[in-house]
Amino acid sequence: MTSIPSIKNGKPRLIMNYFIPYKEPRFWLIYLFVFIINNTFSQTHTNDAKFGQAFHLSVKPWDKSKVDKNDFLELIEATCEVMAINQNPSGAIIDPYLKREHQYSTPYFAFAVGVLLKAGKGKHLKAAGIKAMEHSTLAFSKGSKAIPDEHGEFFISPLTNSLQFYKNHVSQDQFKTWTERMRTPLEVVMQNFDGRINNWRTYAMKGEWNRVNHKLSDKSFATEFIETAWNQYSQKIRIVNDKWNMYQDWSSDPQSLAVEAVGRGNLIALATEGYDGPSSPEIWKAFRKGTYTSLYTQSPDGQAPPNGRTDNHIFNDVLYQLAFEVMAEDAWKNGDQYLAGQYRRAANLAFKSIYRWQRDSGPFKGSFYITKNHFDPKDRIGYQPASQWGNYTGALVQHLAEAWISRKNEIPEFPSPAEIGGYAFTTDDSFGAFFANAGGFQVMVNLRGASVPKYGLSWTPLGTVRMVKQGWDGRLGPSDGEHDISKNSTYQMKTDNGTHVDSYGPQSGISFGPEWKERGHWVRIADVPSTYRAEAEIKFVHPLLVRFTIHYTYVTGRGGPYFSQEFILTPDLLVTRLKNAQSHQFGLTVPLLENDGRPLITSISNNIAQTGYSKNGDQQSFIGLNKDIKIVSDAPSIQSTYGWLKPIRFESEEESIDLMVYPKISSDMSSSKMHENFKWTANGFTTPLAEIKGNLYRGINIAGGEGDAMDLDADGKSDVVFSKKCRFMLQLNDNSIDQVETDQDVIMTYQGKNHTLTAFQPFTLN
């Protein structure tokens, strides 16, 4: 059969995907900044990252988000109304499932209501907000033992900042009482003052500086506390030593990409609220780079990445939104209009993504689910022990309120990196994840799985766990994987002669990846995180086409099969080929979402497995491309954070298993028609949506890649010729070029005319 084409694997170059507004007078200053960043990264991290150059042209027609900051207030108010129903006479917010006040739910509620009052909203909630302030400041003044679950660090910032919101709504005596209570020394408020050195300490750092700004704490004390936390209590090493400056919480292995935004977000708040201690420049540098990196880990539909404890919780996306809001204002202030617009766009994507999880009926109408599914919250699907209705509902309104405060300027949006694509990179090994994106189609692969339980759970399954396309329902993904670490997939079996032989128990993991038969049992790659790892090999990166290979290999002396899985990622679809170097019987596992608290419409035929929420809505289709493809669907479903995943195994007698992943929107061609019209070619493939020919992509409305010429109408003749080999993008209208952009200064010959093109400056023909 025809093999999937690949290119000679040269040493990848790291070029950050900055767009430079070439007509702006600040062009050269920004260019210098990018040049410095490029060289700094390139000297140290060139083996596992490749970023496309800063093309301006978009893959699809691009529209503004139409998000107004007052939209935040509507969600805050609707959620606070539900929280107020659960307030007791003393002012505490009572978790309806725990039947008690939990952690920081009450001060977060007080802050959110205070912001509503500041905005002229939520007057019917004023009394509830005042009661929450009275209750929380009183508990705060009594110290850690009086604070619910001894979460004093979390009380400092919201209560301190809330004082100004309520000043004109209470008597002078009550305001004075609250103010004095908020002077309670930190060592009284913080339980285990020398412990809790993960992200919890960043809450105390941020909060203590808030108190300095409100003249409630001594600046010299606060500075010493923050500097000690940064330099001695591990805060510096957690973020500075990470190669992308992501915050390592050290609370799960691999690290949590969900909790990552917590620590980094608090450091952002500390610095942007004016911290001027000796480590301030170092803190700024670290979180700026880390937050820029998170633009690339965000999915095209606005979701924060999964993995680690508290992954796939709704408040994760709001944390991303908040960080992007703050950094949009920072970039705007510093004159980088395009980066500010990218951050604003990313913030809007994150905000819009949470609407799908808003509850629309019953006593909780208007508030949100805790994790990304529609199961009854009492079932605690995808929860960790700390995942409760009270605290994480509070976190959502708290951070939405902070986002409302942070958004000060009307910043014009520009497409976010998650929408543009043209990158592939590996995180720090502590996180163990790989991201690739072509034209707004993102793939995320876990290169390591969790083998050490956290709360008895495995939060990170080995294998591909996210496939999300721009403008499509990303829940259909797969947007999640699962590994039930309580059902150990391997055990030792003693034979009659006293020897020990490895044997396998029931399959407990699932991700998009290899599955093989060993000693009569099928084993999925997600089943064996303690004995297998993956490595990413990046081959070609362009905004319209990304090629990479994931290599799966054992890391212990026991041995096992080796797999390589090649990916060709385009804006429209993904084609993958799984190969096994040995002679094991193997297959490709696909997690098919069949129920997320509501049943989906799934179907499995001879060569296609697909799922969707409605017959006429978005669908995810997994299409077998081998002539003898066989689909096996007899394995029991596994419940993940997102819902019940049905394991589907594609098998073939051929030397590889070839599969198309086709995220279909309602107006697209059917999956069966797509399969019928798919054809392999000598150096690529053709589909009704696009043609791949070597490192060239030709779609309906856009084309490009790397080369010195391109045939646009498939007549065998080059329609456009460049004076030298370059990377280029062509926006098309009925096979005619409207706009062109290249990564080098070249002369383009098109329709008998020569056009002089300047690198990264779009040129309009019509």
Instruction: With a cut of 60, say whether residue 41 has pLDDT above it.
Output: no
Instruction: Write down the pLDDT at residue 23.
Output: 37
Instruction: Write down the pLDDT at residue 53.
Output: 53
Greater pLDDT, 33 or 123: 123
- Cα Rg, the chain, nearest whole Å: 27
Query: What does the alpha-carbon distance between residue 253 and residue 272 come to, in Å, rounded to a whole number?
Result: 30
How do residues 344-353 score in pLDDT, each as one tens digit?
A: 999 999 999 9
Instruction: Write down the pLDDT at residue 504.
Output: 54
How do residues 487-530 score in pLDDT, each as one tens digit?
A: 654 433 334 455 444 445 678 899 999 999 988 899 999 999 99
Instruction: Write down the pLDDT at residue 43.
Output: 31
Q: 3-state class of 334 per DSSP? A: coil
Query: What does the alpha-carbon distance between residue 152 and residue 189 come to, in Å, rounded to a whole number?
Result: 5
Lowest mean pLDDT segment, chosen from 59-63, 244-248, 432-436 = 59-63
- CA-nearest of 205, 196, 176, 209 to 249 is 196
Query: What does the alpha-carbon distance between residue 729 and residue 748 come to, in Å, rounded to a whole number?
Result: 12
Instruction: With a cut of 80, say whether residue 45 has pLDDT above it.
Output: no
Instruction: With a cut of 70, say whether residue 46 has pLDDT above it.
Output: no
Q: 3-state class of 125 per DSSP? A: helix
Residues 266-273: what's their mean pLDDT?
Answer: 97
Question: How many Cα atoms are found within 13 Å in the side-chain-facing hemisphere of 695?
Answer: 21
- CA-nearest of 214, 94, 223 to 165 is 214
Sign, CA dihedral 452-458-460-462, equals: positive
Sign, CA dihedral 169-175-181-186, equals: positive
Greater pLDDT, 3 or 60: 60
Query: What does the alpha-carbon distance between residue 426 and residue 551 come to, in Å, rounded to a whole number?
Result: 13
Residues 404-425: what's their mean pLDDT?
Answer: 95
Instruction: Write down the pLDDT at residue 166.
Output: 98
Instruction: With a cut of 90, say whether residue 56 has pLDDT above it.
Output: no
Residues 252-270: what's their mean pLDDT?
Answer: 96
Instruction: Write down the pLDDT at residue 340.
Output: 97
In the chain, % of residues over pLDDT 70: 91
Residues 189-202: what's their mean pLDDT?
Answer: 87
Residues 267-272: what's their mean pLDDT?
Answer: 97
Instruction: Write down the pLDDT at residue 120.
Output: 97
Bridge partners of residue 532, in order along the sequence: 554
Query: What does the alpha-carbon distance between residue 581 and residue 446 come to, in Å, rounded to a whole number?
Result: 21
Residues 274-290: what's their mean pLDDT?
Answer: 98
Instruction: Write down the pLDDT at residue 1.
Output: 37
3-state secondary structure 269-304: HHHHCCCCCCCHHHHHHHHHHHHHHHHHHCCCCCCC
Calculate the alpha carbon distances from 546 to 7, 58, 59, 421, 677 in Å.
11, 16, 14, 9, 22
Instruction: Write down the pLDDT at residue 505.
Output: 62
DSSP states of 66-118:
---HHHHHHHHHHHHHHHHHTB-TTSPBEETTTTEE-TTHHHHHHHHHHHHHH
Lowest mean pLDDT segment, chosen from 33-37, 279-283, 727-731 = 33-37
How do residues 605-645 score in pLDDT, each as one tens digit?
A: 989 999 999 989 999 999 999 999 999 999 999 999 999 99
Residues 528-549: what's their mean pLDDT?
Answer: 96
How do residues 132-189 score in pLDDT, each as one tens digit?
A: 999 999 999 999 999 999 999 999 999 999 999 999 999 999 999 999 999 999 999 9
Instruction: With a cut of 80, say whether residue 34 has pLDDT above it.
Output: no
Greater pLDDT, 149 or 714: 149
Instruction: Write down the pLDDT at residue 520.
Output: 86
Residue position matching structure tokens 């965000």: 298
pLDDT band at residue 52 using 50, 70 and 90 as cut-offs:
low
In the chain, % of residues over pLDDT 90: 82
Instruction: With a cut of 90, say whether residue 10 has pLDDT above it.
Output: no
Residues 288-292: what's their mean pLDDT?
Answer: 97
Instruction: With a cut of 50, say whether residue 230 has pLDDT above it.
Output: yes
Bridge partners of residue 423, in order along the sequence: 51, 437
Bridge partners of residue 705, in order along the sequence: 696, 728
Instruction: Write down the pLDDT at residue 558.
Output: 67
Q: Which residues of 490-522 are buried (b: 16+ CB within 10 A; e: fewer)?
A: eeeeeeeeeeeeeebeebbbbbbbbbbebeeeb
pLDDT band at residue 29 using 50, 70 and 90 as cut-offs:
very low
Which run of H or E residues covers position 38? helix 27-42
Average pLDDT over the chain reads 90
pLDDT band at residue 287 using 50, 70 and 90 as cut-offs:
very high
Instruction: With a cut of 70, say whether residue 47 has pLDDT above it.
Output: no
Instruction: With a cut of 80, say whether residue 539 has pLDDT above it.
Output: yes
